[in-house]
Amino acid sequence: METETILVDRNVNKEETYSQAVEMLQTGEVVAFPTETVYGLGADATNAEAVAKIFAAKGRPADNPLIVHVDSKESALNYVQNVGPKAIQCMETFWPGALTLILQTKPGVFAENVTASLSTVGIRVPNHPVALNLLKRVKLPIAAPSANTSGKPSPTLAEHVYHDMEGTIPLILDGGATMIGIESTVLDMTSEPPVILRPGKITKKDLEAVIGTVRLSSEIQGNIPKSPGMKYIHYAPEAPVYLIEKTDGLIEKAIAHVQNDGKKVAILSSEKHPSADYCFPLSEETLYASLRKCDQTDADLILAAISADANRSEAMMNRLEKAADHKWFS
C-alpha cells in the first residue's frame, strides 16, 4: 500500500513536527530521523507490529537484529541486565555517541523481532539534537536500523532516505547531513575481552584507552560472524565496485584499460582523477553519499582508491570491502 511520505525541514514548525513524530511513534508508525552517524528508520521497540514495518520498509532479512536507541544510560539500564563495569565505563565515556553496546536484554522488554529472538540487544544513545529530542519526548526505546533499502549505502542526507523510502513510510525528519557519515561501532560486551563486531568512528584504540584489551572480530581466526548483519551484502551501488591500490600510476592505467573496453568508470578517491568519467570524494564522511552519486551516473564500474597507509580508517575499509565484495582491481 502506498503511503504519502512527508519530508520536514529541520527549521520549520519545530514543536509541531516533534509532536507529530512522537505521536506517530507512539501509535506504531515508522519515522526516519537523523543521528550523528547515519539516518535511522525508527519504531517503538516494544511493539512487534511497528517493528515489522521497519523490516518491510527496508526489505531486511528477519534474522538481522536492530539497534535500540534510548535517551540516556539510565534509560538503557531499564532494558539490559548483567551489565559489567566495563560496559558502564563505555556508557559513561562514549554516550551520547557512536558506540552500540551488545548486552543481555531483560526478558520480555523488547518485541522479539527487534533482537531476532537473540538474548542480547544492541543499544546506544545517539549524539544528535534531533534524535535526542525525539527520544526524550517519546519516552520509548526506539529500534532504528540505518534508513536505507537493505543492501544499499546508508543514508547521510534526508534526501537519501526519501529516495529509498518514498511511498513506504509517513515521515522523515530532515536534520541536514549527518556529522560522522558511517555507522556506529558495535562492541560485544558479552565476550571477554569485548569484541568489535563492526568498526566505526570510535576505534579499538579509543576503546582500549578506557577498558583495556578489545579484540576485532575480523582478527579472530575461524570467526563465525556473531553480528548477524555482517553476513549480508552491504553498501553496494548498482555498478560493481573494485578496490584499487593508490600506487605507481595504477589508477590511471586502470582508467585507460576500462575506457579502452568502451566502458565508463567512476573513481572514489581523496584525490582528483581528471581522466576518469566521474570522480567523487572518498572519506568516512563522504563514502555513502559518493556511492549513491555513482548510481546517478552511467558508470559501468567503480574504483575505490585505497592507500596502503597504516592510519587509514578501519571503519571505511570495512564498508568498502563489503561494497566491493572484497574484489581488487588487477
Least Å from the CB of residue 290 to ligand TXA:
18
Judged by CB under 5 A, the residue of 146, 178, 184, 185 near Mg ion is 146
For Mg ion, the closer of residues 147 and 265 by Cβ is: 147
Pairwise CA distance, residues 158 & 131, whole Å: 13
Q: Which stretch binds ligand TXA (CB under 6 A): 4-12, 34-42, 208-216, 275-283?
A: 34-42
Position 227 contacts ligand TXA (CB under 6 A): yes
Does 199 contact ligand TXA by CB under 6 A?
A: no
Number of residues interacting with ligand TXA: please give it, by CB under 6 A: 29
What burial letters (b/e) apply to 211-242, b meaning 16+ CB within 10 Å? beebbbbbeeeeeeebbebbeeebbbbebebb
Q: Does 123 bind ligand TXA (CB under 6 A)?
A: no
Find out whether 180 and 98 touch, Cβ atoms under 8 Å: yes
Quick one: what does residue 37 bind among ligand TXA, Mg ion, none, with the CB cut-off 5 to 8 Å set by partner type?
Answer: ligand TXA
Residues 22-61 as b/e (b if ≥16 CB within 10 A, e otherwise) read bebbeeebbbbbbbbbbbbbbbbbbbeebbbbbbebbebe
168 binds ligand TXA (CB under 6 A): no
Nearer to ligand TXA, 47 or 156 (CB): 156
CB of 239 to ligand TXA, least distance (A): 23
Q: For the chain, count helices (H), then strands (E).
A: 10, 16
CA distance 261 to 243: 19
What single letter denotes the amino acid at residue 293?
Answer: K
AA letter at 237 = P
Q: Which partner in Mg ion, ligand TXA, none is near 54 (CB below 5 to 8 A by kind)?
A: none
Alpha-carbon gap, residue 326 to 234, rounded angstroms: 12
Measure the CA–CA gap between 33 and 42, rounded to whole angstroms: 7
What distance in Å separates the CA atoms of residue 155 and residue 148, rounded to the nearest whole number?
Answer: 6
229 touching ligand TXA, by CB under 6 A: yes
Kindly tell me which residue out of 8, 32, 67, 161 binds ligand TXA, with binding defined by CB under 6 A. 67
Residue 67 CB, shortest distance to ligand TXA, in Å, is 4
102 near ligand TXA, judged by CB under 6 A: yes
Tell me which of 121, 268, 302, 306 binds ligand TXA, using CB under 6 A. Answer: 121
Considering the rule CB under 5 A, would residue 127 count as an interface residue with Mg ion?
Answer: no
- d(Cα 177, Cα 116) in Å, to the nearest integer? 30
- Please report how close the Cβ of residue 170 comes to ligand TXA at its closest, in angstroms: 18
Q: Cell numbers of 225, please?
A: 560472524
Task: Pick one of Mg ion, ligand TXA, none as the site partner of residue 102 (Cβ within 5 to 8 A by kind).
Answer: ligand TXA
Burial of 72 (0-12, 13-18, 19+ CB in 10 A): middle
d(CA 58, CA 43): 13
145 is an interface residue for ligand TXA by CB under 6 A: yes
Binds ligand TXA by CB under 6 A, chosen from 43, 45, 91, 186: 186
- Judged by CB under 6 A, which stretch of 11-19, 116-124, 163-171, 215-223 contacts ligand TXA? 116-124
Structural Rg of the chain based on CA atoms: 20
Residues that bind ligand TXA (CB under 6 A): 35, 37-38, 40, 64-67, 100, 102, 115, 118, 120-122, 126, 144-146, 183-184, 186, 197-198, 226-230
Residues that bind Mg ion (CB under 5 A): 146
